[in-house]
Each structure stands twice: as structure tokens, then as C-alpha cells.
Structure 1
Amino acid sequence: MITGLNHVAIAVPDLEKAAAPYRALGAQVSAPQDLAEHGVTVVFVTLPNTKIELLAPFGEASPIAGFLEKNPAGGIHHLCLEVEDIAAAAGTVTSLGARLLGDGRPKTGAHGKPVIFVHPKDFQGALVEFEQG
């Protein structure tokens, strides 16, 4: 059901500053993309085997703002796993007792595909995003 690691997300206070070392090391860094529904602005660092998502707050209700209050320098925020079927993945993890965040229904993510998040207390302390491949 899991087909791969899509990305590791790092919350940052300044996208441009955070992206600079990746650019200097020759990685491809995308243009910033505002995701109002998720309360973040993101850029993706594309690597040969995965991506790193750098995310910063967008709007006053951003969940990243709270994360950065606790971690002013930023830090790893979540892991994104690609799955073949997001509904099946959601059903599997909820049948094991995991809680989906929000209303439990997929939203459109940064790649234009359905995504859901699983509560970190139900997934070894890590916030996990599933993205339909």
C-alpha cells in the first residue's frame, strides 16, 4: 500500500534563507507556493530519491506558526508517504485506532493530489501525511 517516501517537511521561519544552502549545494528549489487551505507557504527541494518540503506560515491561523513558537529555529514537521489508495490507507490506519486530523477527509495537497494527516500520538510520535500516488 505504501509506495514510497514522498518528502520530509521542515518548518522554517524564513523560506528564502532556508532554501539558500540547498541551492548552493546544487539542488533544484521550486518557487514558493501559497497553500491557504493548509495555512502554509511551501517550496520543494528536489533530490534524486525524494524531496524536502520547506514550509512557513501563511495567514494568521497557520498551524506552522504554533510549531515555530515552540521551535523558533524550525525543525522537522512531518513525513509524507505515498500510497496507492488514500481511502484504503485511511481505513487501514483508523481500523488500527489512529486518528485522522481535521474532518478526516482528504484535502488537495501541494502536488494537486489528495492528502490526509494522521495524529502523531498514533504514529510513533511523528506527524505523518499520506498522499495518493
Structure 2
Amino acid sequence: GICFLLAEALNEVLFSRLHTPLSTVRAFSVSQSRHPTAGPVWNLGRLNHVAIAVPDLEKASAFYKDILGAQVSEVVPVPEHGVSVVFVNLGNTKMELLHPLGSNSPIEGFLKKNKAGGMHHICIEVDDINEAVMDLKKKEIRTLSEEAKTGAHGKPVIFLHPKDCGGVLVELEQA
């Protein structure tokens, strides 16, 4: 189930990087240094969490808590995003287990297409979310809302369109 999907996704990311020919890496780093560009006024931070949509929040929570021994929160309703969330603390980052809340939850549609659940999005911290959004829009990266909203951690968040991010729904969160 969820564990297998996460392991497969991580394997794909890790092994695709490891199997990149060195000549490709060298060519990329050389070409980058020949064309300096002005850096953005915002900085990308650490991975905040990986969000997993789950059809059964209680069962998924029990797996991480009772089977894997992770520190797992109580269920946190986040009505403005249409989800109930359980936070799984992994020390260096978190996982968010997402379950639909309310009638127009974005997770409901995801679970209709992915009955067993699966990875929904990744969240990366930024030091200035407003600057990041302005800069990314100039680079023609679409956002799913006009401006940042308060997320499950009480901080401003915004989602970037998966079609502009290599097929991955990316959430940016103010650090």
C-alpha cells in the first residue's frame, strides 16, 4: 500500500539521479557557470513534509504509530482546505496523512482516481512566500490560487500547478 508507493517513488528519485552519466552532470554544471543569471530575492528551504492521501485515516495512523513506531498526532481538521490531517513526525521531516473533510474536498477526487491512496504533494519551505510567488509567476509557473492561504501549520502556503512542476503537486510554505 502506502509504504510500497512511497518506497517506489523514493527509489525512482534516488536511482534516476545515481544513474545520470557523469558527462551529463559535468556538461550541465559547466554550461550553468557560463550563463550567470540574477538570483531570486527568495530562497528555497528544507522539505517540510510529504502528504499522503489515505482512504482510512485511522488505519493509516495506526500503521505509522503502532507498526513503525512513529510519533503521530491526533486528527486535525482543516476545513479551509477540505481535509482532516494527521501529522507523522519523522525527526528530519514530517508526513501528512490527508483524508477528505466536507463535500468539496480536493482529496476526495484524488481518492476516487487512486482508491488505495498515495502521494498527494510535497511541501518545501521558502523564506519569503510572496517574493517566491511573484518570481515563479514571472517564470510562467502557475499557482492553484491567486495568493497564499493559511495552511495546516498556521503559516501561509500556496500550491504550484503540477503540470509546471514535472507532474508533482508542490506546496510552498513560509518558513
TM-score (norm 1): 0.97
- 1:64 to 2:107 alignment: yes
Aligned to 1:83: 126
Aligned to 1:26: 69
In structure 1, C-alpha distance between the alignment counterparts of 2:54 and 2:136, rounded to whole Å: 29
TM-score (norm 2): 0.74
Q: Which has the higher helix share?
A: 2
In structure 1, C-alpha distance between the alignment counterparts of 2:93 and 2:54, rounded to whole Å: 19
In structure 1, C-alpha distance between the alignment counterparts of 2:58 and 2:89, rounded to whole Å: 15
Aligned to 1:11: 53
Aligned to 2:97: 54
In structure 2, C-alpha distance between the alignment counterparts of 1:48 and 1:34, rounded to whole Å: 23
Where do 5+ consecutive residues of structure 2 fail to align? Answer: 1-42
> Aligned-pair RMSD on alpha carbons?
0.7
Give the SS at the match of 1:31.
Answer: coil
| TM superposition outliers: structure 1 runs of 4+ over 2 Å | none
In structure 2, C-alpha distance between the alignment counterparts of 1:15 and 1:89, rounded to whole Å: 33
In structure 2, C-alpha distance between the alignment counterparts of 1:73 and 1:107, rounded to whole Å: 28
In structure 1, C-alpha distance between the alignment counterparts of 2:116 and 2:49, rounded to whole Å: 20
In structure 1, C-alpha distance between the alignment counterparts of 2:118 and 2:132, rounded to whole Å: 26
Q: How many correspondences in the alignment?
A: 132
Asked which structure has the greater CA Rg, the reply is 2
Offset of residue 96 of structure 1: 1.0
Give the SS at the match of 2:172.
Answer: strand
More RCO (CA 8 Å, sep 6+)? 1
Offset of residue 119 of structure 1: 0.5
Offset of residue 20 of structure 1: 1.2
Deviations 1:31-64 (A, max 9, x none): 1111111000001000111000000000010010
Q: Which has the higher strand share?
A: 1
